[in-house]
Amino acid sequence: MIPSARFFALALFSVALLACTACVRVNVHGDPGHRSMPVQTPLRIATYNASLYAGETDGLRARLEAGDAGARKVTAVLQRVRPDIVLLNEFDYDAGGRTADLFQRDYLERAQAGGGEALHYRYRYFAPVNTGVPSGLDLDGNGTTGGDGRERGNDAWGYGLHPGQYGMLLLSKYPIDTAAARTFRQLRWSAMPDARRPRDPDGGQWWHPDAVWSQLRLSSKSHWDVPVRTPAGVLHVLASHPTPPVFDGQEDRNGARNADEIRLWTEYLSAGDKPWLCDDSGRCGGLEADARFVILGDLNNDPVDGDGRHEAIVELLEHPRVLRYPTPASEGAAIAAATSADAATGDTGPARRGAPAHATGDFGPRVGPLRLDYVLPSTGFEFVDSGVFWPPPGDPAAAIVDGSDHRLVWVDLRHP
């Protein structure tokens, strides 16, 4: 039996209809919040150190309940960029998730001045971190354990004035496989082969006594591997926020820890047995060789400028499993680098060797703009576009960027 012309017409219509299910109106250049050009839907992934923290337990919840101006600006940025998946660093953790509920309900789901339409994330991952959790050990070498204020924070597993300060919150429009997530919050630093164990520069002895070193955790907050079921397949979100490589002494214990916290991802992606790399549930080993991933977070290390052991971030950037793509940039960063100066002294701070437009935050005239925040996808993705949300002065959107001293970094990807 010969099919009718009507049959062929219906078949062609069905094929076209299926093809259009992968199409939306997207503008992959210009304003990342405006989508108007028909192309295959890209996946927009972002990281943002939101500076949503407080100095006391439940302090962030109190900030949000009072109507926090900084939180509204952070939300406005998110509503303009509208990432599908975003990691928020420095969002205080609470076990019940009430603060995250409040942020979603009263901020993200309400249009903010300077922002865009309300933004809903159906899925999130919010888990404990090391910051502010007492270690019971003298980690700063001052001869006492615990105490009040900064002394208490210095002897926590990760610096913090209360448990959960400077936590992490992962938001997603796509389902998160919470049961398959891996966390490395309790991994011992000493378990890492060739760990950068700090030494006292005066006498050459180890900074931490053996009894302390054997217990010290590597992650200052946590390291997460969170699988997200996206239209492009399962994506492993590798999230972290290494300690700043400052606020220590000549022993550079924070610089050493920052470098090895970054190196943990390098090890996690590299081939070979990793019997030492065990997560908090006891499962050992790195990421499967065929897994797609994106590394997200404020890694507190610029490739060439500022403090820190730059070889750690450079090694991660150059890992063979990490996609090479144009570094996210902004006009605002370039202008900030050119105009950064101390109003009282005129001091412009240290000279930059890196490209000023690549900075992801401005940290005052003594430090200047630095590239600290990263979205590093795996090979196998097609790069579409990227940017740092940092409009130049005079742009109306510039009024919302100072909710944090960091800027949101975003990347658009497509499954080829």
Residues 86 and 48 sit within 8 Å (Cβ to Cβ): yes
Confidence at 257, pLDDT banded by 50, 70, 90: very high
> In this predicted structure, what is the pLDDT of residue 256?
98
Just give the CATH number of 15-129+164-414: 3.60.10.10
User: Do you know the residue count of the chain?
Assistant: 416
Nearest partner of 116 among 87, 84, 81, 64, judged by Cα: 81
> In this predicted structure, what is the pLDDT of residue 16?
36
Share of the chain above pLDDT 70, in %: 88
> In this predicted structure, what is the pLDDT of residue 8?
35
Share of the chain above pLDDT 90, in %: 82
Mean pLDDT for 149-157 is: 95
- Over residues 262-302, the pLDDT tens digits come to 999 999 999 999 999 999 999 999 999 999 999 999 999 99
- For 229, counting Cβ atoms within 10 Å of its Cβ (0-12 exposed, 13-18 middle, 19+ buried), the class is middle
Nearest partner of 52 among 39, 62, 40, 42, judged by Cα: 62
> In this predicted structure, what is the pLDDT of residue 4?
42
> In this predicted structure, what is the pLDDT of residue 21?
34
Confidence at 240, pLDDT banded by 50, 70, 90: very high
Q: Is residue 411 within a helix (H) or strand (E), and if so which, with residue range?
A: strand 409-414
Mean pLDDT for 175-199 is: 98
* Overall pTM surpassing 0.95 (yes/no): no
Q: CA-CA distance, 270 to 206, in Å (whole number)?
A: 29
> In this predicted structure, what is the pLDDT of residue 167?
98
- Over residues 99-151, the pLDDT tens digits come to 999 999 999 999 999 999 999 999 999 999 999 999 999 999 999 998 899 99
Confidence at 3, pLDDT banded by 50, 70, 90: very low
Instruction: Please state, rounded to an integer, the average pLDDT across all residues of the chain.
Output: 90
- Over residues 207-220, the pLDDT tens digits come to 999 999 999 999 99
